[in-house]
Copies of this chain bind each other. A is one copy, B any other.
Amino acid sequence: MLYFEDFSEGRRFDYTPVEMKPSDMIAFAHEFDPQPMHLDEEAGKRSILGGLSASGWHTSAVGMRMMLDAFMGQSTSQGSPGIDFMDWKKPVLAGDVLTGFSQVMEARRSKSKPGLGIVRFRNEIVNQAGEPVAVSECSVLFRCRDKVQH
């Protein structure tokens, strides 16, 4: 299990690649973001995105899953207070294979919550051409191994 103390600045966790299947993209869009370019190939081609494209929220949720599988699922994560920013830099098109990494930017113990630490990550999701499609920074709370700060 990864505790707060394991997230040293600069440590990097690489993702396992995930293929963006058209059926998954359409199912997500149908439930949460039913805009034409996320639901239909022809509408996507007519849009500025250039084809059937994933909702940015779908790409972000897949990114969460890649973080989970890369390290957070084997950690003392207590959730996140939010996202500092999320840039959707390029369209994610049907069949794209996404991968990427999370890297520790900063780690500090919480002043208000004893026994917890806050880790800020930079997360980059890239496509099969190595182009960044979504770049974000977010903070996550983890339990500390040492309950008392020395």
**CA–CA, A56 to B116, complex, Å?**
19
User: Size range of the interface on A?
Assistant: 35 or more
Which of B57, B72, B78 contacts A61, CB < 8 Å? B57
Which residues of chain B come closer than 8 Å to A64, judged between CB atoms? 32-33, 55, 57
Which residues of chain B come closer than 8 Å to A78, judged between CB atoms? 47-49
Which of B47, B79, B87 contacts A81, CB < 8 Å? B87
**CA–CA, A31 to B21, complex, Å?**
14
- Decide if the interface of chain A is mainly helix, strand, loop or mixed: mixed
| A85–B87 CB distance below 8 A | no
What's the least CB distance linking A67 to chain B, in Å?
A: 9
| A35–B77 CB distance below 8 A | yes
